[in-house]
Amino acid sequence: MEALFATVTGFLAASGLYLALRGRTFPVVVGLTLLSYAVNLFLFSTGGLTTNGAAVIRDGVDYYADPLPQALVLTAIVIGFAMTAFSVILAMRVRGDLGSDQVNDQRGEESKEDKS
Amino acid sequence: MHHLIILPILLPLLSGLLMLVKRDSAVLPRRAIALVSTALLLAVSAMLVVQSDSGDITYYALGDWQPPFGIVLVLDRLSALMVCLTSFLALGSVAYACAGDDRKGSNFHGLFQLQLMGINGAFLTGDIFNLFVFFEVLLIASYSLLMHGGGKERTQAGFHYVALNLAGSAMFLIALGVLYGTTGTLNMADMSQKVAALDPDRLGLLKAGAFLLLVVFGLKAAILPLYFWLPRAYSSAPAPVAALFAIMTKVGIYAILRVYTLIFGDSAGELANFVQPWLWWFALATLALGGLGVLSARDLRNQVAYLLLISVGTLLVGVSMNREAPIAALLYYMIHTTLVSGGLFLLSDAIGEQRGKAGARIVPGRGVTQPALLGLFYFVGAATIIGLPPFSGAIGKALLLDSALPSEQPWLWSLLLLSSLAGLVAMARSGSTVFWKAGRGDNDGPRLKTAMLAGLILLLGASPILSILAGPITRFTDASATQLLDQSAYSEAILSPNVTGGDS
């Protein structure tokens, strides 16, 4: 299970990184989203991978999963989700304001130089 | 008085929420709430400084969950100093914003207070995951503040800033996952003890996590390969926001200082002080490139952004020397440089407003309406940030230069002095272009409003006061540095059960 988990996480992170380095805003947003999924999976695995482990201490149970990464990953998911929503809106605004979805569009800068 | 520690987080949170109740209400009550809340924050943080000066490290256990299991807020001299610095800077920016910048978009003051909450939280927390959460709080507020008022340039700079910081947050989480996976704790004091007694097989993994954390903090602090977002983002932000952002790079520097002296400090066994030699070269390179950037800037605000970069380099050099004297020197320098660069951002905006079309660009154009007043501010600001006596910059730089060992002197002295020279040349050139090569000012043009004047006096006027009070302040920073490097006292104050710190 470890090998599969690690491969999936690594593949997600690599795809996310590749997309985040693209030149248009939409792939960048998708890339950052994939990266945050990979991070969530990774964070989830930091307590060690266990199946059928109890998260809360009870009598008669001696096989436990680490509950803390589950709490951490919840925080990370909430923050990551909010930031994805924000960056989608921002990307649309970039498209509207600059008339292009290129991340490094120089048009805004050129018009500023013209004035000087 | 245990509850005092949490007030710097609760106070801005409450006033920020209060302003969300009616988002488009009249501007005057919002200004009143913002000013009163920030002034109260300053009073509270001054009390915290006094409380921390007893030398005891006190903590506040949230929900009375005792460390290392619960989240704690920790008050020592360094965190009290940083919170006090933040609230002073915020008071100046809020005062300046009340002149009209706050009306250019919606809910300026609410977001500003929430950002203050994030910054204060990052300074006070003793839990490394909580540090991440407060980083996110301050970043989310800063994304919206950066784009306050709108405009093409801001939108594009904003997208770069958001994308970079999202990637940074992802790396922060990976680093935290590695640290938690290897040490099994998130409490910083507890982690520092676990690191010392770590299984040697896991050292490599932990080291990778620690380096990744350095990259994240370096992105926030704007060290050399990671600073390219800064000049653009800061020079396109609205002036009061840019002034508050002057503390954001210091949040990164504070995090480096805290994590790499406490967790990976002298007591960390094999990993003791392993990042400092790396940091030394990157900091020197930042210093050198900041100097070049200052010379090439064509806009006053861009110039101030590069001056900020020089100060980041200077501060990190101090961090990388990792001894009491340089850390004490850098803390004094940090107070000075944060307030004065904040003031200079405000001043550039005020100059730009009075010059009509020429704006803040460094070109001959129409003169300012109030050359004597703005010229005086500019002179004080420039002399201070470059480090001419008798202002506070000279004291800070002299303390830092003096603390270098003979082996460090050739690099530090030459680069710090050369970048100061670059700053001097650039500021002299832009000052003479803006004030002397200018035509007559428009006598009916816009004048400084009282609120703007108050903001400028508060931030730039702090410099002479810092020089006059240099004695008590350096005594405090010396004590802070001593306390910071005494990791065992910190861990003992947080973890030993016989100290009752948390108030339920």
pLDDT digits (tens, 9 = 90+) for B109-165: 999 999 999 999 999 999 999 999 999 999 999 999 998 887 888 888 888 899 999
| Pair A40, A73: CB distance under 8 Å | yes
Measured between alpha carbons, how far is residue B109 from residues B90, B170, B344 in Å?
11, 29, 21
* Predicted confidence band of residue A2 (pLDDT cuts 50, 70, 90): confident
| Interface residue of A2, A39, A88 to substitute, partner B, most B CBs within 10 Å | A39
ipTM score assigned to the predicted complex = 0.89
User: Is residue B229 less than 8 Å (CB to CB) from chain A?
Assistant: no
Give the pLDDT score at B104: 84
Please indicate whether, in this complex, the C-beta atoms of A97 and B177 are within 8 angstroms of each other: no
Please indicate whether, in this complex, the C-beta atoms of B155 and A97 are within 8 angstroms of each other: yes
Per-residue model confidence as pLDDT tens digits over B352-380: 888 878 888 888 888 888 888 999 999 99
DSSP 3-state helix, strand, coil percentages of chain A (rounded to 5)?
70, 5, 25
Query: Token digits for B192?
Result: 């520092």
Please indicate whether, in this complex, the C-beta atoms of A90 and B158 are within 8 angstroms of each other: yes
Measured between alpha carbons, how far is residue B475 from residues A29, B56, B77, B485, B504 in Å?
49, 16, 12, 16, 34
For residues B238 and A74, give the distance between their C-alpha atoms in angstroms, rounded to a whole number.
Answer: 34
CA distance B69 to chain A (A): 10
Q: Is the pLDDT of residue B418 over 90?
A: yes
Query: Token digits for B179?
Result: 């640290």
Of B136, B159, B177, the CB nearest to A103: B159
Give the pLDDT score at B43: 96
- Provide the percentage of residues in chain B whose pLDDT is more than 90: 62
Give the pLDDT score at A109: 47
Give the pLDDT score at B23: 67
* A33 chain-B contacts, CB cut-off 8 A: none
For residues B314 and B306, give the distance between their C-alpha atoms in angstroms, rounded to a whole number.
Answer: 12
CATH number for the domain spanning A100: value is 1.10.287.3510
* B181 chain-A contacts, CB cut-off 8 A: 46-48
Please indicate whether, in this complex, the C-beta atoms of B162 and A97 are within 8 angstroms of each other: no
Give the pLDDT score at B1: 61
Q: Is the pLDDT of residue B230 over 80?
A: yes
For residues B121 and B5, give the distance between their C-alpha atoms in angstroms, rounded to a whole number.
Answer: 10
Give the pLDDT score at B101: 83
Q: Is residue A29 part of a domain?
A: yes
- Provide the 10 A C-beta neighbour count for residue A116: 11
* Residue of B270, B266, B275 lying closest to B216 (CA atoms): B275
Q: Is residue A116 part of a domain?
A: no
φ and ψ of A52, to 5 deg: 60, 25
Of A32, A76, A98, the CB nearest to B173: A76
Alpha helices in B98-184 (DSSP H): 108-124, 128-146, 152-183
Give the pLDDT score at B497: 60
Q: Is residue A35 part of a domain?
A: yes
Counting the structural domains of chain A, the total is: 1
Q: B144 by DSSP, 3-state: which?
A: helix
User: Is residue A50 less than 8 Å (CB to CB) from chain B?
Assistant: no
Please indicate whether, in this complex, the C-beta atoms of B163 and A46 are within 8 angstroms of each other: no
* B140 chain-A contacts, CB cut-off 8 A: 82-83, 86
For residues B358 and B363, give the distance between their C-alpha atoms in angstroms, rounded to a whole number.
Answer: 7
Q: Is residue A59 part of a domain?
A: no
Cα Rg, chain B, nearest whole Å: 22
Q: Is the pLDDT of residue A59 over 70?
A: yes
Q: Is residue A115 part of a domain?
A: no
Nearest 5°: the CA angle B199, B205, B209 is 125
Give the pLDDT score at A112: 44
Q: Is the pLDDT of residue B218 over 60?
A: yes
Give the pLDDT score at B90: 95
For residues B164 and B439, give the distance between their C-alpha atoms in angstroms, rounded to a whole number.
Answer: 42
Give the pLDDT score at A5: 93
Q: Is residue A21 part of a domain?
A: yes
For residues B250 and B314, give the distance between their C-alpha atoms in angstroms, rounded to a whole number.
Answer: 12
Instruction: Work out the mean pLDDT of chain B and round it to a whole number.
Output: 90
* B143 chain-A contacts, CB cut-off 8 A: 86, 90
Residue in B with minimal Cα distance to A94: B155
Residue in B with minimal Cα distance to A105: B156
Range of the domain at A7: 2-52+65-109
Average pLDDT over residues B425-451: 85
Q: Is the pLDDT of residue B504 over 60?
A: no
| E runs forming strands in B405-445 | none
* Predicted confidence band of residue B254 (pLDDT cuts 50, 70, 90): very high
For residues B174 and B275, give the distance between their C-alpha atoms in angstroms, rounded to a whole number.
Answer: 18
DSSP 3-state helix, strand, coil percentages of chain B (rounded to 5)?
75, 5, 20
- Provide the percentage of residues in chain A whose pLDDT is more than 70: 90
Q: Is the pLDDT of residue B40 over 50?
A: yes
Q: Is residue A14 part of a domain?
A: yes
CA distance B453 to chain A (A): 29
Across the A:B interface, residue pairs with CB atoms under 8 Å apart total 89
Please indicate whether, in this complex, the C-beta atoms of A25 and B159 are within 8 angstroms of each other: yes
Q: Is residue A8 part of a domain?
A: yes
Residue in B with minimal Cα distance to A104: B156
Average pLDDT over residues A31-45: 93
Residue bearing the bigger pLDDT, B24 or B294: B294
